[in-house]
C-alpha cells in the first residue's frame, strides 16, 4: 500500500528563520511527487512537481528536492505570509493520475 508521511505535524518559525519540511514515501514506483500549499478555508494550491531523484524546483523562498525515499521543502528566510499547511502527494504508475496525500505540515511564521 502506498504511504506518505509528513513531518513535523506543526512548525513555528520566526521571520527569517530557515527550515525544512519532510515528506517520506513508500510506493511501488513513483510517477511524480507533488507539493501543495493550503490556506485556511481554501483548497490546496499547486506548488511543484518532482519526477526523479536528484531533481530540484524553486519558487521564491521555497525549494523542493527529491530523493528515492523522501522529499524536502526548504523554506529560506520565511515571511508571515508563508504561514499555511503544506501538503505532499505522490502519484504512482497505472493509477489514472490519482494522488495519495500526506496529512500535511502546519507552518506558522511569526513576526
Partner 1 sequence: NAGVTQTPKFQVLKTGQSMTLQCAQDMNHNSMYWYRQDPGMGLRLIYYSASEGTTDKGEVPNGYNVSRLNKREFSLRLESAAPSQTSVYFCASSRSRDSVSNQPQHFGDGTRLSIL
Question: Residues in the site for partner 1, rule: CB under 8 A?
Answer: 4, 31-32, 34, 36, 41-46, 49, 51, 87, 89, 91, 93-99, 101-104
Contact 89, 5 (CB under 8 A): no
Are 23 and 33 within 8 A, CB to CB? yes
Q: Nearer to partner 1 by C-beta: 44 or 78?
A: 44
Q: How far is the CB of 14 from partner 1 (least distance, A)?
A: 27
What is the smallest separation between the CB atom of 15 and partner 1, expressed in angstroms?
27
How far apart CA 36 and CA 23 sit, in angstroms, is 12
H/E stretch holding 24 reads strand 19-26
Between 50 and 78, CB nearer to partner 1: 50
CB of 93 to partner 1, least distance (A): 7
Q: State how far the Cα of 94 lies from the Cα of 5, in Å rounded to an integer.
A: 22
Query: Minimum distance between the CB of residue 45 and partner 1, rounded to whole angstroms?
Result: 7
C-alpha cell belonging to residue 93: 504508475
CB nearer partner 1, residue 4 or residue 62? 4
Amino acid at each position: 500500500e502506498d504511504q506518505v508521511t509528513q513531518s513535523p505535524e506543526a512548525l513555528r518559525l520566526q521571520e527569517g528563520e530557515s527550515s525544512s519540511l519532510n515528506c517520506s514515501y513508500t510506493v511501488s514506483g513513483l510517477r511524480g511527487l507533488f507539493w501543495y500549499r493550503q490556506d485556511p478555508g481554501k483548497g490546496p494550491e499547486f506548488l511543484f512537481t518532482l519526477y526523479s531523484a536528484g531533481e530540484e524546483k524553486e519558487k521564491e523562498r521555497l525549494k523542493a528536492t527529491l530523493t528515492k525515499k523522501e522529499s524536502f521543502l526548504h523554506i529560506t528566510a520565511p515571511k508571515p505570509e508563508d504561514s499555511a499547511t503544506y501538503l505532499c502527494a505522490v502519484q504512482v504508475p497505472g493509477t489514472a493520475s490519482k494522488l495519495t496525500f500526506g496529512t500535511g505540515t502546519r507552518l506558522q511564521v511569526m513576526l
